[in-house]
Amino acid sequence: MATIYEVSEAAGVSLATVSRVVNGNSNVSQKTRDKVLSAMESLGYQPNTIAQSLASKRSNSVGILVSELHGSFFGNMMSAVELELRESGKHAIITAGHADEEKEKQGIEFLLSRRCDALILHVEAVSDEYLIELDKKKIPFVIINHKIEQLSDRCFYLDNEEAGYIAAKAVIEHGHKDIAYITGPALKEDAQLRLAGHKRAFDEAGIAMKDSLLVEGDYKQEGGVEGLRTLLNQKESFTALICANDEMASGAMSEAREQGMELPSELSIIGFDDVIFSEYMYPGLTTINNPVTTMGRMAARWVLKNVYDKKISEIQNKFDPKLVVRDSLATIV
Amino acid sequence: MATIYEVSEAAGVSLATVSRVVNGNSNVSQKTRDKVLSAMESLGYQPNTIAQSLASKRSNSVGILVSELHGSFFGNMMSAVELELRESGKHAIITAGHADEEKEKQGIEFLLSRRCDALILHVEAVSDEYLIELDKKKIPFVIINHKIEQLSDRCFYLDNEEAGYIAAKAVIEHGHKDIAYITGPALKEDAQLRLAGHKRAFDEAGIAMKDSLLVEGDYKQEGGVEGLRTLLNQKESFTALICANDEMASGAMSEAREQGMELPSELSIIGFDDVIFSEYMYPGLTTINNPVTTMGRMAARWVLKNVYDKKISEIQNKFDPKLVVRDSLATIV
DNA sequence: CTGTTAGCGCGTTCAT
DNA sequence: ATGAACGCGCTAACAG
């Protein structure tokens, strides 16, 4: 690998001048610029990004923490982030937090030790206090899918309350009155918000929510299986089931069929997130769109703009959920 | 951020000694080691990985190229790789090649410019010649899901021929005789191998393959839809359909239902890869396991062993496919 | 076992 | 507009 020094020698100029043309900086006469450029060309010179980083105190890398690398949720986000960053010559360092507080902290520490210029965090377990504390350390970071008031311009999130509202409303508008609900873990903010939206729609329609039709799930497939089983084991009957995410909806579907129910005629099911396999399910799952891709892109743009001083115009923080209509929601006649 | 120099001062030792204890290297007396350690502790010292890289000519980063970050296939692989690397203090830089020759080359160039110590490549479009050429540049890399004879110890791949054989054999053993097949793109090596295995099973069973029951797909869902449509539009009838991957199987399932067919009684379907949503399909898709997770782990281990000199015992290059039994393959009576 | 010293490749003042 | 020189934080001989 040729160094900047060899280039300067070949071009008959100083090291500083080469550095200038490499960085497109300041003023260099066209003539010397050409000399340098052709020297670079013939030597196949490629700047050593590590040396650049050391000298400039910029690693040009941004760390990404997601709860899982696999699964159907984060791929789209990472994809958007990577694309956006690479277009600006930055790179993404990824790591997983496994939705565990300790592991998330370790992941963040790891990324920090890598001297990332910024962090894009999709945390699930870490506390707001930890993040606010992290903020004091002058390490730029953004948060995906969670809103912290003090850091709101750096949070990119779905309006989960509205999402819950839309889902419930769609079900109600299809004529359902007896509606069961499998929530997410009570501790999780998005689960609470979705439930709140759910209640708002019920209030608005003048339908009473029955506690017996409300069970807590774990956001996993198994939670849907068990949730439906629990619901079926009490006396209250229902014609529709809202699941706080698609995984649970999937589990509920299997269990429903296991119980010999016809879908969606005997039971309508609606999910949340519109993960990749939702359209592959049978019947196709009607669900609420969770625009992770766009959120990822926005997060990357925030970093580009605020950390790397790129000119970027529009950055959107709050995202609106949309109903994705497929076949799992039937109309009651 | 404290530097190694400040630590050396605080501990009253030389810079080199601090470096030694940081790297757990050579011999340092327990007493001075303790002094240094406590100095590091009280200063909150964290080595600057970039400076380490510059001096040691090791970036401690390995580049990963996959065709897509999203989708259900690579998440598991990346997950395994990241986990394995992080345990050794290395990090993963990811990028996507989008199954396009030019973009794959750009991706590789990008990773190289990042001074990765090694590359883990899941390429789809780039030629063997390109990779062999790349190999001459002394940049260590491994290849996932593709075998190149000259580089075979650094290739981690599924025995695709065997996979095709197992799938066809399973179908045949279920009593099917009229079996249709939607292949992958004729250009792709894995598609050819799977087809070859398919033929072997037919030969072994003394069943003739009918050209009219063989159509080429594109590995995408739509390819399954169109493939089945084409198959249905010719006179030859069939009771089972083998799809060269799960995405196409999914498409074929939708189309079959669209045509009013009962699954699996009127049409058995089997896929390849066992991607994440296969178990969510209805009926659950019987398919062939593609151990990408393990391959990812092995690839990472190869790098750890051969690039970072970690002691690692077993590394497996060739992987055997296994039948994953679910409900989409019915028995002909 | 420990310290000195010379790079690693580049960015960035400061002069000129 | 260009060059000289120093520093980024650390590793790696080489001495001692």
Question: Which pLDDT belongs to residue B314?
Answer: 87
Residue entry with tokens 């249905």 = B232
Instruction: Give the closest residue to A294 by CA, choosing from A312, A321, A272, A270.
Output: A321
Residue A122 confidence (pLDDT) above 70 = yes
- Please return the burial class of B31, using the count of CB atoms within 10 Å of its CB with bins 0-12, 13-18 and 19+: exposed
Q: Contact, B275 vs B246, CB < 8 A?
A: yes
Q: Say which range, A17-26, B77-86, B143-152, B303-312, has the weakest mean pLDDT.
A: A17-26
Gap from B190 CA to C8 C1', Å: 44
Residue B26 confidence (pLDDT) above 80 = no
Gap from A3 CA to D12 C1', Å: 20
Residue A83 confidence (pLDDT) above 90 = yes
Question: Which pLDDT belongs to residue B138?
Answer: 82
Phi, psi at A173, each rounded to 5°: -65, -20
With a pLDDT cut of 90, the percent of chain B lying above it is 82
Mapped onto helix, strand or coil, the DSSP state of residue B317 is coil
Residue B8 confidence (pLDDT) above 80 = yes
Measured CA to CA in angstroms, residue B133 lies from B101, B120, B317 at distances of 15, 16, 22
Rounded mean pLDDT, A3-11: 91
Question: Which pLDDT belongs to residue A333?
Answer: 81
- For the four alpha carbons of A42, A43, A44 and A48, in that order, the dihedral sign comes to negative
> How far apart (Å, rounded) are the C-alpha atoms in residues A261 and A277?
22
Lookup: nucleotide whose C1' is closest to B57 CA: C8
Question: Which pLDDT belongs to residue B228?
Answer: 98
Structure confidence by residue, pLDDT tens digits, A129-167: 999 999 998 889 999 999 999 999 999 999 999 999 999
Lookup: nucleotide whose C1' is closest to A15 CA: D3
Q: With CB atoms and an 8 Å threshold, state whether A69 touches B51.
A: no
Angle at which helices A49-56 and B49-56 cross, to 10°? 140
Q: Contact, A148 vs A130, CB < 8 A?
A: no
Structure confidence by residue, pLDDT tens digits, B204-262: 999 999 999 999 999 888 999 999 999 999 999 999 999 999 999 999 999 999 899 99
For residue A66, the cross-strand partners are A96
Residue A72 confidence (pLDDT) above 70 = no
> Is omega for the bond preceding B140 within 30 degrees of 0, making it cis?
no
Q: With CB atoms and an 8 Å threshold, state whether B72 touches A115.
A: no
- Please return the burial class of A298, using the count of CB atoms within 10 Å of its CB with bins 0-12, 13-18 and 19+: buried
Residue B46 confidence (pLDDT) above 90 = yes
Question: Which pLDDT belongs to residue A187?
Answer: 86
Q: Contact, B242 vs A242, CB < 8 A?
A: no
Structure confidence by residue, pLDDT tens digits, A236-248: 999 999 999 999 9
Angle at A292 between CA A149 and CA A159, to 5 degrees: 45
> How far apart (Å, rounded) are the C-alpha atoms in residues A107 and A105?
5
Lookup: nucleotide whose C1' is closest to A29 CA: D1
Flag whether residue B235 sits within 8 Å of chain A, measured between CB atoms. no
Flag whether residue B310 sits within 8 Å of chain A, measured between CB atoms. no
Question: Which pLDDT belongs to residue A26?
Answer: 66
Question: Which pLDDT belongs to residue B182?
Answer: 97
- Please report which confidence band the pLDDT of residue B304 belongs to, taking 50, 70 and 90 as the band edges: very high
Residue B71 confidence (pLDDT) above 90 = no
Q: Contact, B288 vs B166, CB < 8 A?
A: yes
Structure confidence by residue, pLDDT tens digits, A264-293: 999 999 999 998 788 888 899 999 999 999
Q: Contact, B276 vs A70, CB < 8 A?
A: yes
Question: Which pLDDT belongs to residue B155?
Answer: 97
Count residue pairs from A and B with Cβ separation < 8 A.
117
Q: Contact, A44 vs A2, CB < 8 A?
A: yes
Distance of CA B17 to the CA centre of its chain: 42
